[in-house]
């Protein structure tokens, strides 16, 4: 008799024990509930890791190829940047010839937190005697760049597949896609024409010393790498630079560095932080859309738990009436069924997080071929051709909490329904 009256006046622990016993009564029903929550949480974790991997992919491409941590250009260049104009060097607002690279480097490196400052040039070129008619000349200081960045974003390497990068002379390197399309090899010459800062045509015939693969379709297909000093002379830029890429010791300090540089360089030059890049901003804003998708997905998946709780109440209607007749309050009856739903949600979310964590951890080491998945690369987007999922314990924690909270909220109504079954009416059924 004492055992049968245990629920009377039961506290939290007693009600939780009753809920656990009820869960064990029908393991098939329990398995369906747990699996629904587990599947929902698994896909939530996996998709969050996928999206985080895409964001990391874009951010890395932007920092390595588009802006650095902080990017410096002239205001005139910024207004016409889609044409890569070389007639607007940094500082040309005060001095038509611009600020010299040495002077600008000294100024930038004097800012606290700056690790390196690298000049770059990007200019259009017309290729002659080639099936490919247009290319981009990318003037960089190769060794200094490689000391800071891995050009191949998948293999984390310098990206060379054959030969070597160009030295200061009539040398260049091309990407694998350009080499394949134009039938180019190491040792071939690449006749081209470009336009200098003085608007004069410049003919050039560099030797190809290397072929690279950056796993970034825009560069692998369109870019010809040349030495910065050689391109600077070819384009008649004097001692100035078209762009300056600033790298911080701590990326989180890039905002402070950008603010300091704006004060020193004035309004005639534009200083941009990498977080201001259009594609980085768009991806960050898109996260709200993904959160809504996760929410809807979890709610839909939680309907199975809701249906199960409703079935439990219907099947055990007499038991509910007996609980009430033995003195159990409505609040206690609600908590018993609510605990059952919460325990099912916790168990399912835990299993989903474990499965999602294992999957994301494995795929964080094995890149996914993004180009193959979407049927080809997109040069318009700053994305590498392969995608690494982002394994983050915070994502697992968010997935677990998300699963438990949504599952619990979705079971409040059927749990409350159990409290309003009159004991007498329930015993008659």
Q: What is the pLDDT of residues 122-161, one digit of tens each?
A: 999 999 877 888 999 999 999 999 999 999 988 889 999 9
10 Å CB burial of residue 271 (0-12, 13-18, 19+) is buried
List, for residues 252-261, the tens digit of each pLDDT value: 899 999 999 9
Averaged pLDDT for residues 179-187: 94
- With a CB cutoff of 8 Å and minimum separation 6, the contacts of 293 are 47
pLDDT of residue 423: 66
Averaged pLDDT for residues 207-216: 94
In this structure, are residues 208 and 147 in contact, taking their beta carbons and an 8 Å threshold? no
**C-alpha to C-alpha distance for 322 and 327, rounded to whole angstroms:** 9
pLDDT of residue 258: 94
Query: Residue 207 pLDDT more than 90?
Result: yes
What's the pTM? 0.77
List, for residues 63-81, the tens digit of each pLDDT value: 999 999 999 999 999 999 9
Pairwise pLDDT comparison (328 vs 91), residue with the higher score: 91
Query: Residue 334 pLDDT more than 90?
Result: no
Model confidence at 345, in pLDDT bands (50, 70, 90)? confident
Query: Residue 212 pLDDT more than 50?
Result: yes
Query: Residue 2 pLDDT more than 60?
Result: no
> What is each CA distance from 137 to 114, 175, 190, in whole angstroms?
27, 12, 12
Report the percent of the chain where pLDDT is more than 70. 85
Averaged pLDDT for residues 191-208: 94
Averaged pLDDT for residues 265-284: 87
Query: Residue 270 pLDDT more than 70?
Result: yes
């Amino acid at each position: 008799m004492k055992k049968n009256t245990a629920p009377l006046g039961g506290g939290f622990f007693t009600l939780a024990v009753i809920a656990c016993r009820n869960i064990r009564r029908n393991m098939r029903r329990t398995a369906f509930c747990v699996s629904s929550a587990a599947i929902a949480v698994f896909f939530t974790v996996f998709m969050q890791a996928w999206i985080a991997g895409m964001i990391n992919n874009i951010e890395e491409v932007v920092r390595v190829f588009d802006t650095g941590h902080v990017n410096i250009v002239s205001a005139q260049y910024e207004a016409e940047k889609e044409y890569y104009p070389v007639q607007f060097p940094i500082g040309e607002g005060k001095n038509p010839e611009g600020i010299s690279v040495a002077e600008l480097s000294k100024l930038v490196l004097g800012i606290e937190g700056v690790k390196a400052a690298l000049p770059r040039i990007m200019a259009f070129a017309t290729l002659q005697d080639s099936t490919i008619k247009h290319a981009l000349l990318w003037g960089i200081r190769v060794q200094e760049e490689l000391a800071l960045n891995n050009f191949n974003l998948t293999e984390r390497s310098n990206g060379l597949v054959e030969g070597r990068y160009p030295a200061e002379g009539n040398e260049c390197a091309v990407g694998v896609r350009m080499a394949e399309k134009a039938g180019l090899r190491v040792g071939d010459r690449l006749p081209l024409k470009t336009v200098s800062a003085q608007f004069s045509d410049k003919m050039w015939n560099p030797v190809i010393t290397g072929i690279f693969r950056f796993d970034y379709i825009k560069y692998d297909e369109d870019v010809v790498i040349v030495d910065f000093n050689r391109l600077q002379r070819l384009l008649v830029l004097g001692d100035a630079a078209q762009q300056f890429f600033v790298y911080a010791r701590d990326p989180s300090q890039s905002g402070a560095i950008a603010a300091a540089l704006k004060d020193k360089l004035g309004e005639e030059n534009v200083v941009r932080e990498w977080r201001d890049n259009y594609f980085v901003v768009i991806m960050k804003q898109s996260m709200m859309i993904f959160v809504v998708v996760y929410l809807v997905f979890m709610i839909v998946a939680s309907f199975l738990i809701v249906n199960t709780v409703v079935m439990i109440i219907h099947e055990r209607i007499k038991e509910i009436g007996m609980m009430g007749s033995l003195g159990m309050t409505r609040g206690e009856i609600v908590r018993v069924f609510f605990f059952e739903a919460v325990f099912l949600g916790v168990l399912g979310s835990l299993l989903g997080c474990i499965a999602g964590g294992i999957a994301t951890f494995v795929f964080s080491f094995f890149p996914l071929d993004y180009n193959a998945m979407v049927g080809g690369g997109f040069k318009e987007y700053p994305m590498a051709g392969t995608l690494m999922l982002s394994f983050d314990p915070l994502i697992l924690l968010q997935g677990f909490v998300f699963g438990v909270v949504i599952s619990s909220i979705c079971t409040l109504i059927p749990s409350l329904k159990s409290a309003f079954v009159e004991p007498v009416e329930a015993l008659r059924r």
